[in-house]
Every structure is written in structure tokens, then in C-alpha cells.
Amino acid sequence: MQRQALITGASRGIGRATAVKLAAAGHRVLLNYRTRDDLAMEVAERIKEQGGQAELLPFDVAEYKQAATVVKQYIKTHGAIDIVVNNAGITKDQLFGAMKYEDWDRVIRVALDGFYSVTKPCIHGMLKQNWGRIVNVASMAALFGNAGQVNYSAAKAGLIGATRALSRELCKRGILVNAVAPGFIDTDILAALKVPHEDLEKLIPMGRLGLPAEVAKVIAFLVSEDTSYLTGQVIGVNGGML
């Protein structure tokens, strides 16, 4: 059955891979992004070349009025959004003692305000049809913490708390809420750490970085019909790091 799936931060990395995967599963995907029109258009073109359906939905998830307005208008015109993947996230790394408020605030707003701004407008349609899937992309940093990433770790940990609480509110209505917590995945965010891949690989029991497509496969499972009794969970995708 075709569903409408909104993926935030869909122009690159895990979001891009997820969009391609969900489109291949037969869903109509809505590609959210903030600035990179060129990258988002590349994703949409790839999906369409493979016979899928994609639509661009540009807005800043951290700006509530902008995000909520765009999502509500889309729903009014095209019907309920059945699947939400809250993938948008940024890093502004710095030791906490030297961290600027602006860098704390922006990271928190993208992850947590973005979750609120995008997910809340979609809930009504899910409740009306007694079906929905929400997947929040957290991070291993939320579970263990990373030096220099107090803001990012806090933001992603908050997202895990929101996942568990919202799952309790919605599960009796057929709406399942889960999270994935990726480890070291070969994306732009990992590149921003400026740590040699060889050093990171030594920390991973499987001895290699993860791929965005490997996270996307887990997300695709979590939004499928096969997850009828799975909610409120945080799935680690980290190559064996506990």
C-alpha cells in the first residue's frame, strides 16, 4: 500500500538514503531540506528515474511557523502524511566551556523544535486513520555522550525521550514511534569531526564505518506493516558498539 512519507534533511546522508529506500518500497516521498536545492533535486530525479514518486518540500525545521505552515498546507492539499522520519540534524562542536549560546541553541532547535514542528501537524491525520509511523534519527552520542558534543548529545537524548513518551500516547491508535541511534556512519556529519577514518574504525567491533543505506534499511523496516508490535524502541545501528 502506498503511503506518503516525509523525510527531513533528505538531501544528503541518511535522509537521502532513506528517501530512496522508501520510494523503492512504493511510498510517495516528500523531501525536506533547507538550502541545497541542487542536492534535493538530484535525489528527486534519482527516485523518479527508478519509477518512484518524490516531491520537494523545502523549509527550515527549526522555524516553527515556517515548518508547520508548509506541512499543514501540504496535508490540506494532498491528504494525510502517514510516515514521518525526523532525520534533520546538525553539529556545532566545541568544548562546553567555550560553547557559544548560538551553537547550543541551533543544534537543540533543529533536533527538538524540528521534531515538534514537523511531527505535530501530521498527528491528526494519523489519528483519523488509526495508522502512522514516526521514526526519529537519534545518535549513539545520545546514549554515551561525546566530548565536544554536549549540545548534540543533549539534543539527540531529548529526541529519545520524546520518542518513548510519544509512543505511549499513540500506540493504542495504531501509530508507532521508534528511534534509530546510528554510530559512526559515513556522512558529512562524520566528516566534520575531522578524525581519520582509520582511528574511528578501531573503535568499531565490525572494523568499518556504517553506510547511510544500512541505516535506511532499518528505518524502512520500522515504517513498514511488519512493525505492528514494535514501538518506543531505540535501535542501535553501530557495528557492534554497545
Q: Write the DSSP assignment of 175-198 as a string of letters.
A: EEEEEEEE-SBSSHHHHTT---HH
Q: What is the pLDDT of residues 2-59, one digit of tens each?
A: 899 999 999 999 999 999 999 999 999 999 999 889 999 999 999 999 999 999 999 9
Q: What is the pLDDT of residues 188-237, one digit of tens each?
A: 877 767 778 788 888 899 999 999 999 999 999 999 999 999 999 999 99
* List 64, 74, 152, 229, catalytic entry: 152
Q: Is residue 153 part of a domain?
A: yes
Closest of 152, 117, 161 to residue 8, by C-alpha = 117
Q: Is residue 203 part of a domain?
A: no
Q: Which three cell numbers stand for residue 165?
A: 513518551
Q: Is residue 118 part of a domain?
A: yes
Q: What is the pLDDT of residue 200?
A: 87
Which long-range contacts (C-beta less than 8 Å, at least 24 apart) are formed by 76-80?
Answer: 78/4, 79/4, 79/125, 80/4, 80/122, 80/125, 80/126, 80/128, 80/129
Q: Is residue 229 part of a domain?
A: yes
Q: What is the pLDDT of residues 123-181, one digit of tens each?
A: 999 999 999 999 999 999 999 998 999 999 999 999 999 999 999 999 999 999 999 99
Q: Which three cell numbers stand for residue 163?
A: 520518542
d(CA 138, CA 136): 6
pLDDT band at 184 (very low <50, low <70, confident <90, very high): very high
Q: What is the pLDDT of residue 114?
A: 97
Q: Is residue 198 part of a domain?
A: no
d(CA 23, CA 12): 15
Q: What is the pLDDT of residue 202?
A: 86
Q: Is 152 a catalytic residue?
A: yes
Greater confidence (125 vs 242) lies with 125
Q: Which three cell numbers stand for residue 106?
A: 541551533
Q: Is residue 242 part of a domain?
A: no
d(CA 232, CA 146): 24
Q: What is the pLDDT of residue 150?
A: 97
Q: Is residue 172 part of a domain?
A: yes
Give the type of residue at 5: A
Q: What is the pLDDT of residues 84-110, one digit of tens each?
A: 999 999 999 999 999 999 999 999 999
- Counting the structural domains of the chain, the total is 1
Q: What pTM was estimated for this model as a whole?
A: 0.95
Helices and strands, number each (H, E), in the chain: 10, 7
d(CA 197, CA 26): 35
In the chain, the DSSP E strands lie at 4-7, 28-33, 53-58, 83-86, 132-137, 175-182, 234-237
Exposure on the CB side of residue 109, measured as CA atoms within 13 A: 13
d(CA 64, CA 23): 27
Q: What is the pLDDT of residue 223?
A: 98
The CATH number for 143's domain is 3.40.50.720
Q: Is residue 16 part of a domain?
A: yes
Closest of 187, 183, 100 to residue 146, by C-alpha = 183
Q: Domain range holding 81? A: 4-182+214-237
